[in-house]
Amino acid sequence: MSTISRRILLRGTALLAAVGASGGLIAACGSQPAAQPSQGGAAAPVATTVPKAPATQASVATSASAPTTAAQPTAAPTAAPKANAAPAGEKVALSIVPGFNPGNAKVYWQNMQKEFQQRFPNVAVTMNFQPDWNAETTVIKASIASGDVPDVVMTQDNFSYQLVVDNALMPLDDLWKVDQTFDVKNFAKGLVDQVTKEGKVYGVPIYSVTMWWVYRTDLFQKNNVTAPKTREDLLKAAQALKETGIKFPLALSGDMSEWAGIGYFWNFGTSVVSVDGQKSQLMTKEFQQAVKWTWDMINTAKLIDPGVVTGGITAQAIKASFVKGDYTMLTDGPWDIASNRANKDMQGKWAGMPRALSPEGAQRHEVVGGTHEDIPKGAKHPTEAWNFISLSLSADMQKTIPSIGDVPSNFSVTLDKDLMGKYPDVLPAVEAMMPPTITHARLPYTWVPDAGNAAWTAVQKALQKPSWDAAVKELDAGDKNVQTVIDQGKKR
């Protein structure tokens, strides 16, 4: 009987290892299978209308830069999108990467999935939930880079803009043209403009929101103070509350970087970066007026706790002080509605209100942020994907959103007084974005978040200065820093 020598054994093992490694290498280098064309009839023409030239930032910015009043909504569409895509017997697999306020929104998406599958039994929907926005962004980018894209993605406004610049999304106009249930005028124009390029719209907001004040209704009632509507009223209300022994009636949220900080100043009608994205605005008269108002509230009237702008007290600690009753008003976002509802210490003691109107009492400016629903270029089933988007934006589905403590993006739903009357904690968040408010999209330049951070840091430093002259010097230094951020961002 022949025996296997040690050498042969070693050679054989080495050969097997080499073959395995080579096979693995070949497999790893294999290309992705080409995307299958959609079963839906409308898919092909949509794919061919996607512009091939890469977008410049300026071309997108043109459409997004102008401030706009909220669009006048149309009557609520009641009909659901019709099943019209796959031939009978063929099951379409639709993959979705849902977003918008992960956590409290999961229930909404699960209901949405059930509803969609009832209406479109030939479509199997897979929801790929992600734990947070960072993870979602990574998944979306990785899928687009690999060429194996989901059919619907939900993206935060800045990221949506980036995807439009990168020519990674399908235009949606042609899809909604054949959809009688959808009217783009029902959605925040600022957010629609942000993803509009060369007349084509690449996303529709499933979620739109702006900052607001939350206030302690129990303390207001106890001290006979009414919720203010103008900035002058706000000052009077805060002074009245201070006279009752509350040391600092007002607080700014501790997390005021970037969009919250920018939003705070837009509320005064001024921006951090000029709308063309080129210049810092920190030394403009309007910006300084806005900072001066806040500086006076901290240093002269002593109505705002100076600790909240030092960065020394965290956003959580500030919120905890509000819950405790140390502060009676706090800049916040409606994304906290669900957690406020769940907090036993807050029940019946709080309400939201739109931020105060400008001193003249005529208009309110707000930056609107949110989440878009988009169809990535290369999606296998754009028609079904649109049907999913359309249903999620329809009045039928949107009217369920206030129940989970979020804000519907469809204005036709938010105008429904009977419905919104049931959710008084959500209503002011809607009012904050409706006329006469002038809404602004976040400026669509990659350097704006960094410029916003630099600007807010300069403002924080200025607000801590004991004299206004010293504060202006700090703003001047900040202005140069913000301009450096802009110039550097433009160079990249």
Partner 1 sequence: MSVSAVARPILEHRRRKYRLREVLTGYGFLSFSLFGMLVYSLIPVLFGLYVSFTKYSGIGAPKWSGLHNYLVVLTDPFFWSSIVVTAAYTLITVPAVIALSLVVAVLLNRALPFRNVVRTSFYIPSVVPWVAAVLLFQNMFDYKFGLINQALAWLGIQPFNWLGGLDTGIQNPIFIVVIVISLWKGFGFTMLILLAALQDVPPQLHDAAKVDGANRVQRFFSVTLPSISPMILFVFIISVIGQIQSFTPFYLLGGGGTITQGIKVETIVTYAYMSAFQSFQYGYGAAILWVLFVIMFVFTYGQLRMSTSGTGHEREF
Residues at the contact surface with partner 1, assessed by CB under 8 A: 7, 10-11, 13-15, 17-18, 20-22, 24-25, 28, 54, 133-134, 141, 144-145, 162-163, 165-168, 255, 257-260, 310-314, 317, 446-447, 449-450, 453-454, 457, 460-461, 484-485, 488, 491-492
Report helix, strand or coil for 149: coil
Tokens representing 348 are 């019946």
Q: Which residues pair with 123 in a beta bridge?
A: 92
73 vs 306, beta carbon nearer partner 1? 306
CB of 131 to partner 1, least distance (A): 13
Q: What is the spatial distance between Cα 471 and Cα 298, in angstroms, rounded to a whole number?
A: 12
Q: Name the residue nearer to partner 1 (CB basis): 294 or 398.
A: 294
Give the bridge partners for 182, in sequence order.
none
Minimum CB separation from partner 1 for residue 290, in Å?
19
Least distance CB 390 / partner 1 (angstroms):
25
CB of 144 to partner 1, least distance (A): 5
Pair 416, 74: CB distance under 8 Å: no
Nearest-approach distance from CB 323 to partner 1, in angstroms: 15
Compute how many other C-beta atoms are within 10 angstroms of the C-beta atom of residue 213.
22
- To the nearest whole angstrom, how small is the minimum distance from the Cβ of residue 380 to partner 1? 18
CA angle at residue 50 from 48 to 53, to 5 degrees?
A: 120
Q: Rank residues 161 and 411 by Cβ distance to partner 1 and give the closer one.
A: 161
**Closest CB 469 distance from partner 1, rounded Å:** 19
Alpha-carbon torsion angle 233, 293, 271, 436, nearest 10? 10
Decide whether 258 or 336 has the Cβ nearer to partner 1. 258
For the residues of 37-106, what is the DSSP string, one character each? PPSSTTHHHHHHHS--SPPPHHHHHHHHSS-EEPPPP-PPP-SPPPP-SSPTTPPEEEEEE--SSTTTTH
User: Considering the complex, what minimum distance in angstroms separates the CB of residue 432 from partner 1?
Assistant: 20
Cβ–Cβ under 8 Å, residues 398 and 205: no
In 3D, which of 214, 205, 123 has the Cα closest to residue 372? 205
Q: How far is the CB of 258 from partner 1 (least distance, A)?
A: 4
What H or E segment, with its residue span, contains residue 442?
none
Two structure tokens written together for 432: 């904050």
Q: Based on CB atoms, which residue is closest to partner 1, 154 or 357?
A: 154
Angle 203-206-209 (CA atoms, 0-180°, nearest 5)? 110
**Separation in Å, CA 154 to CA 81, 205, 285, 336, 360:** 20, 9, 38, 20, 38
Measured from the CB atom, is 130 or 446 closer to partner 1?
446
The span from the CA of 373 to the CA of 154, in Å, is 5
Between 160 and 398, CB nearer to partner 1: 160
Shorter beta-carbon distance to partner 1: residue 370 or 428 = 370
Q: Which is nearer to partner 1, 41 or 312 (CB)?
A: 312
